[in-house]
Structure 1
């Protein structure tokens, strides 16, 4: 789960979306597909390291995220670093991103108080200067 490259993650996500779409578009059409697809809660966290060039600090954060990936309510996770893409709308100022998928908000709420998550914050929070979180729910 944790060891997927960004390219593998995107390819797997695209395949899953395509299979879900094709399976859901039977005789009842797109409306039925929308009603049958489970909703997802997305939790995306961006970390700015205090010492962004320090590889030891980055390694500690990545090790902490690997441990954090064992929380039972996480459906899927991805860890990444800024891409080399360069357009005006792209923010590459962060050090590490942490993308999580949950079944619903309740599972994400459970993750927030999970002892593994609380320990991660305790052990790793001294590594970063800033964290921004974007949560979204299916509509």
Structure 2
């Protein structure tokens, strides 16, 4: 049997047209659920006001990624219950229409520049992503 390239296989199978379809059309289930992206930054120097200010500056730049629907930048609240975690420096919470919009954000030049310019400030990041209905009744 003669070896076939992936492209030739797709063309022969009649699937090549799917490659040209937008992700929204090809995977409609990915457009139905709100996507929430929550990042906790742990600064290398948590008591350094300059580092904190620099990261805040970077996050404000990052908030300009067009697929972000809503963003919240915060610091640990002055609450004290046993279930509350307050060991992080800064929290970044943003909402996207769907997972596709979040995937665009992940590869957007503003996001890539943010990582390149500001990652030296943190020792660790923890990310919680979740999906759910766009509207809860």
TM-score clears 0.5: yes
Query: What do you get for the CA RMSD once the two structures are aligned?
Result: 0.9
3-state SS in 2 of match to 1:92:
coil
- Residue ranges of structure 1 left out of the alignment (5+ in a row): 1-37
Matches within 5 A, 1:50-61: 50-61=44-55
Q: Does 1:79 align with 2:38?
A: no
Matches within 5 A, 1:124-139: 124-139=118-133
Deviations 1:56-77 (A, max 9, x none): 0000000000000000000000
Deviations 1:20-54 (A, max 9, x none): xxxxxxxxxxxxxxxxxx73110000000000000
- 1:96 pairs, out of 69, 90, 99, with 90
- Residue ranges of structure 2 left out of the alignment (5+ in a row): 1-31
Q: Distance in 1 between matches of 2:65 and 2:91?
A: 17
- 2:39 pairs, out of 32, 36, 45, with 45
Question: Structure 1: which 4+ aligned runs deviate by more than 4 Å?
Answer: none
TM-score, reference length from structure 2: 0.73
Q: Whose Rg is larger? A: 2
Query: How many pairs align?
Result: 102
